Amino acid sequence: MKRGHCKKAGKHTVGKKGLLLYGLASLLWFILRTGTKPTRIVYPCQQAALTNISMVLCVFTPFPLAVVIAKTRVFARKKLALLTVLAVVLGALTSCIQPWNSQLLAKAVDPYQELRLTLEPANATVIPSSDVFVVCGRAHAYIDELLNLMGSHGLPFYMSNNVGSTQGPEGLIARDDVVLIKINEEWPYRGGTNTDVLMELIQSIVDHPDGFVGEVVVADNGQWQGSMDWPESNAEDPTQSTQDVVNSFSSQHNVSTCSWIPIRGTRVNEYIDGDSMDGYVLYDTPDQETGIYVSYPKFTTVFGTCISFKRGVWNGIVYENRLKVINMPVLKSHNHYGVTGALKHYMGVQSEGGRGQAGLGNGHEKVASGGMGTLMVETGLPTLNIVDAIWINANPPPSSSAGPSTPYDRATRVNVLVAGADPVALDYWAAKHVLMQAAGLIGYSDVHTLDPDDLNRTGVISQAFGVWLNLTMHEILAAGHNVTTDLNRMNVYVSASTVHDIAVREVVVSESLAGEGGLNVNISVTTQNVGDFSEVFDLSIYADVTLIQTKTLELPSAGLTITKFLWNTTGWSEGYYSLRAYAWPVEGETNVADNECLYGMLWVPEFPSLLLLLPLTLVALLAILLKRRELLSSMQNRKAR
How far is Cα 289 from Cα 296, in angstroms, rounded to an integer?
19
Say which amino acid occupies 453: D
Phi and psi for 324 in degrees, rounded to 5?
Answer: -120, 125
How far is Cα 217 from Cα 561, in angstroms, rounded to an integer?
46
Per-residue pLDDT, 77: 54
DSSP per residue, 542-559: EETTEEEEEEEEEE-TT-
Closest by alpha carbon to 4, among 630, 606, 616? 606
Q: Which sign, positive or negative, has the C-alpha torsion 319, 201, 167, 160?
A: positive
Per-residue pLDDT, 84: 55
User: Coil, strand or helix: which one is 577?
Assistant: strand
Per-residue pLDDT, 107: 28
How far is Cα 175 from Cα 262, in angstroms, rounded to an integer?
30
Q: Which sign, positive or negative, has the C-alpha torsion 286, 341, 377, 127?
A: negative
Query: Model's pTM, two decimal places?
Result: 0.69
How far is Cα 172 from Cα 175, in angstroms, rounded to an integer?
10
Per-residue pLDDT, 38: 46
Per-residue pLDDT, 48: 54
Please work out, in degrees rounded to the nearest 5, the angle formed at the alpha carbon of residue 327 by the alpha carbons of 181 and 407.
90
Please, which contacts does 202-205 make with residues 24 or more away whose CB atoms are closer than 8 Å? 202/245, 202/246, 202/249, 202/255, 203/143, 203/249, 204/143, 204/144, 204/147, 204/157, 205/173, 205/179
Where helices occur in 186-301 by DSSP H, the ranges are 195-206, 242-250
pLDDT under 50: residue ranges of the chain = 1-14, 37-44, 47, 88, 92-112, 609-613
